[in-house]
Amino acid sequence: MSVTSALVEAALSARRSGGTCFTTEIEAKFEADTLAKRNQRLITGLLVSAPLYNLFLIADWLLVPDVVRLAIWLHVLVVTPWMLLAAWLISRKPRPFVRECLAASVPLLIIMQIDLCFAFTNSPGAAHYQYVVIPTLLYTNVSLHRLRFASARAVTALIVAIHVSLVLWVDYISSAVAAIIVIQVIICAYITLVANYTMERDLRRSYLFSLRDRLLHAEADAASRRDPLTGLANRFHLDEALKEIWCASEFTNVPVCVIMVDIDHFKRLNDRYGHGAGDLCLKRVAAILSGELRFGRDLAVRYGGEEFLLLLPDMDLMEAVRVAERTRRSIESAAIPNALGLSGVVTASFGVAASIPSDLGSSDLVAAADQALYAAKSNGRNQVWPPLATKISLIDRTSKSQVGSQ
């Protein structure tokens, strides 16, 4: 299911009550749109944080000098290398779950380093050493490394559980000091999680507004390129497609075909049976024309009134004539009633022209196809011009048009 403006609008309405979760479709779109920025943020955060983290060795030296050697080894051989490795792994664009696990592992390693030193020290300044947990929580939930809320919630719970358990386990801290430490860590965890939640919520809400605006613009742009009755491209879209083909250097030596299509005796059908019948006829013919297109390459256009145009890049004249003849038979076989027609059903006439862009301008190619259509109608309608059975050759070299002669 693709993401539409209506789906985004529904998500915006649902999010007025808060929350940081999207539907599956919008979450996938959010992840795809923010992937590069999210990866870069984490990589930058890890690279900047690595030297900042090692500045905490000053706190180790001042507060727990008896375990400063352990702290240095953990800093240099474990945590810092893992931060750099995590940054490299994230640069490889892993799956979102793997990326968030890598990001979450860093603050967990930091808190384990802090608590290992805290567990083995006998220094009188150890009671103050635990305050380095607070910057770790800020780093996890608010600053450069800020985790997604779901990850931040889980990591924060683990940090609090590990550190509080250790504070209550060691016997060199009095009960009063331990209580103060526990209360401060829990308050810090709560405040940073609230900040993380608020930032995540606002980020996602801002993304929804931006996505809605982009989708509305895209839908309006698509509507401006489509005929509202048949759903085919309109003249504006055709002009853009022709300009793109003629401007693209890779198409210089590749033929482009244009097929002009006109529904036979349509005005008489419309006058006799009314506009409702005429509109239904146009829709059914448009559906048949669309069915003949190569996906992603060709373009079907409602050219005006009962006239249609097929733009077929990278197709020679003979193949285009075959496509036109097959389409003509499909329209006739559809048996759309038209008692005023020659055979009692709706039929159509086709004019085909082809050229390479370097030999003929786009407007001249369309004019050549229109001339071929006029020949088909003049010769009795319900046919393709040039006919498939005849030898197709170039005529009117002075006008650079490529059509066939019987």
Burial 31-43 (b: 16+ CB within 10 A, else e): eeeeeeebbebbb
3-state helix, strand, coil in the chain (%, to 5): 65, 10, 25
List of residues 6+ apart from 148 with CB closer than 8 A: 20, 100, 200
Compute the distance between CA of residue 374 and CA of residue 393 in angstroms, rounded to an integer: 18
Compute the distance between CA of residue 114 and CA of residue 53 in angstroms, rounded to an integer: 11
Tokens describing residue 28: 């996938």
Structural contact between residues 272 and 346, judged by C-beta atoms closer than 8 angstroms: no
Structural contact between residues 256 and 356, judged by C-beta atoms closer than 8 angstroms: yes
Specify whether 319 is catalytic: no
Helical packing angle, 275-291 and 266-273, nearest 10°:
140
| C-alpha to C-alpha distances, 23 to 1, 35, 198, 215, nearest whole angstrom | 11, 17, 19, 17
Q: Which residues on adjacent β-strands are paired with residue 257?
A: 312, 354
**41 Cα distance to chain centroid:** 20
Compute the distance between CA of residue 151 and CA of residue 11 in angstroms, rounded to an integer: 22
End-to-end CA distance of the chain: 51
Single-letter residue type at 243: K
Structural contact between residues 300 and 232, judged by C-beta atoms closer than 8 angstroms: yes
**158 Cα distance to chain centroid:** 36
Task: List the catalytic residue out of 244, 306, 307, 325.
Answer: 306
Could you give the residue numbers annotated as active site?
306
